[in-house]
Amino acid sequence: MNAMGFHPAWKYQTVIELIFEAGILTREFERSERMAEIRTMFLESRNDADPERMPTKDEITQFVEQAFDRSHDM
C-alpha cells in the first residue's frame, strides 16, 4: 500500500471483485485475467515512452486523480 491508499487493481496478480448490497455479499467476480490484460497494456505503453522525458503538468494531474480514484468500473 502506498501513502495515497491502495495500489490500482491491475497491480495485483489475484483480483476478485465483491459486490455488497446493504452489507450482504450479493455477487463475486474473478477479475485476475482482465487485470493481467490491463497490466500488459500499461507495461507495453511504458516501453514505448522516452525514459528521459519529464511528465507534463496534465500527465501529473491525471496520475494524481487516478491515484485517488476509488471506482472500479469494468
Please report the pLDDT score of residue 20 as a whole number.
94
Cα–Cα nearest to 69, from 8, 18, 20, 13:
8
Q: Is the pTM of this model over 0.85?
A: no
Q: Taking every pair of C-alpha atoms in the chain, what is the biggest distance, in angstroms?
A: 49
Grid cell in block for residue 21: 448490497
Q: Could you give the CA distance from residue 56 to residue 15 in angstroms, rounded to a whole number? A: 31
Instruction: Please state the domain extents for the chain.
Output: 9-68
Please report the pLDDT score of residue 10 as a whole number.
83
How does pLDDT run across 3-53, given as a tens digit for each residue?
A: 456 788 888 999 999 999 999 999 999 999 999 998 888 877 776 666 667
Tallying the residues shown for the chain, one arrives at: 74
Please report the pLDDT score of residue 42 as a whole number.
80
Please report the pLDDT score of residue 26 as a whole number.
96
